[in-house]
Amino acid sequence: MCGIFGAWGVENAAVATFLGLHSLQHRGQESVGIGTLNGTIEVARGLGILSADAISLEQLTKLKGDKSVGQVRYSTQGDPNIQEAQPFEFRNPHNGHHIAYVHNGQLNGNNGWQTTRSDSERFGHAFAQSSGSLEERVFGMLSKLSSQGSYALCMLTHDPKEGDALIVAKDPHGNRPLVMGKTQQGGYVFASEDCALQSVRIGLRMQFEFQRELAQGEVIIITKDGMKTYGPDLLPKPIKPSTPLPCFFEAVYFARPDSHIFGHSVHAIRQNLGRQLAIEAPVNADIIVPVPDSAQYIAEGYARQSGIQFEKAITRSHYIGRTFIDPARLIKVGDFADSRLLSIVRKFGFVEELIHDQRIVLVDDSIVRGNTMRSLVKTLYELGAKEVHLRIGSPPTTNSCYFGINTPTTQELIANGRNVEQIMQLLDYEATCHPTSLQFLSYEGTMAQIPYAKNGVCDACVTGDYKMPQGK
């Protein structure tokens, strides 16, 4: 899961991309990169997040032009180092052809011939190995990769003879989100979520309108001659739209609540998940407490449906990133086995007077590895909670994702091969802090609240049914 951004014909494109990526920072916090095209392609990259100067103002002012791509990265393959920060660049020294691109999703298969460990490098190799017109090269690149996983792609190309282009594409199953907006001056912007378009519109006082979510398999090529969109009738067979399989977890966890994902309001979906959770898993309690931040709207929906008081008894430091997408480092700091556990302790604060002597319903969107929940249950009991009931707004995550989430082995997943009682035992910190109860939202209840699920979704992480090609 990464956040990507692209712009064409947008004044101060680097600044627009910078603002857009700020709004997509929740999708990746390991590295940031921006590339612009103004006669030649220039790229700036940095490790960390934008608010910590991963890309400095000095770097930003050197990025000129009205065409750009950018990414905030969360690594599913490869390492969090500057060599694997995107945009990736490929340059042909013989003909001056130069590309820079960003990718959200994951390609799978043999990585042995790559110069980095990132799956995204394959786009550059596939493009270089294709021939013919720009359109033919784009189709050739995507045809080589369409059966290897998921992608949402923004690519700048510069050719001394053919000119410049921006290429935007989604895989045939439409697994990852990508939206488009158009400025009053005829420019275009693309982003993983429409909250990024809002930031650009407000931050630069730029007038443009949201256009739409790109369709599955859609390819867009923009040149000086205008924009051309390639739908089912114009695409070669390997990349024609197939079964729609948008990721259901985008609505549950990934996306910002002020976004629309695959055309639907995230905060409305999450509130409805909470209402359904309260119907399926009621409990006598004093307060409903969300695990911040992504579970807030699920907890609000639960509270409204149940009539139990909603309290933000757990606070979150926004100077610590999302611990679910923090790849565990093989380090030991004091009593902490890896950096994710250390981040959890640093991440949360507690309003003790709201917790003491209370029966608490602790609501989260999911339990993946269980590190966060184990720590929270222990702390709530230490602060005087009488009961801690866990209510989860999605089904148990039992299987690895090969399409953009860093869960490479099922052994990492707390729900894999275990029932609810066994999961509760694993959440019991040193056999002293057993949750009072635990219930997950049913699969049927979850999908009924996600409007885009009616046409099909990728749900392999909770069903084990891998409908998308894994490329293995």
Tell me the pLDDT tens digit for each residue of 170-210: 999 999 999 999 999 999 999 999 999 999 999 998 888 88
For residue 371, the surrounding DSSP H or E stretch is: helix 371-382
Task: Give catalytic residue positions.
Answer: 2
- Architecture of the domain defined by 260-463: 3-Layer(aba) Sandwich (3.40)
Q: What CATH number matches the domain at 3-242, 3.40.50.720, 1.10.260.40, 3.60.20.10, 3.30.470.10?
A: 3.60.20.10
Which residues, given as ranges, of the chain have pLDDT below 50?
A: 111-113, 322, 325-340
Model confidence over 77-108: pLDDT tens digits?
656 688 889 999 999 888 889 999 999 999 98
409: which residues sit within 8 A by CB, 6+ positions away?
A: 400
pLDDT, position 341: 52
Nearest C-alpha neighbor of 62 from the set 100, 31, 34, 96: 34
Inter-CA distances, 65 with 7, 29, 68, 102, 103, Å: 10, 26, 8, 18, 21
Do strands 3-8 and 67-73 pair parallel, antiparallel, or not at all (unpaired)?
A: antiparallel
φ/ψ (deg, to 5) at 269: -60, -45
Cβ atoms of residues 312 and 292 within 8 Å = yes
State the span(s) of the chain assigned CATH 3.60.20.10.
3-242
State the span(s) of the chain assigned CATH 3.40.50.2020.
260-463
What distance in Å separates the CA atoms of residue 246 and residue 442, rounded to the nearest whole number?
Answer: 19
Q: In this structure, is the dihedral angle defined by the CA atoms of residues 332, 333, 337 and 340, taken in order, positive or negative?
A: negative
pLDDT, position 339: 46
337: which residues sit within 8 A by CB, 6+ positions away?
A: none
Give the pair of three-digit tokens for residue 57: 């103002």
pLDDT, position 111: 45
pTM: 0.91
What distance in Å separates the CA atoms of residue 175 and residue 244, rounded to the nearest whole number?
Answer: 8
Cβ atoms of residues 193 and 5 within 8 Å = no
What distance in Å separates the CA atoms of residue 157 and residue 323, rounded to the nearest whole number?
Answer: 35
What distance in Å separates the CA atoms of residue 271 and residue 291, rounded to the nearest whole number?
Answer: 14
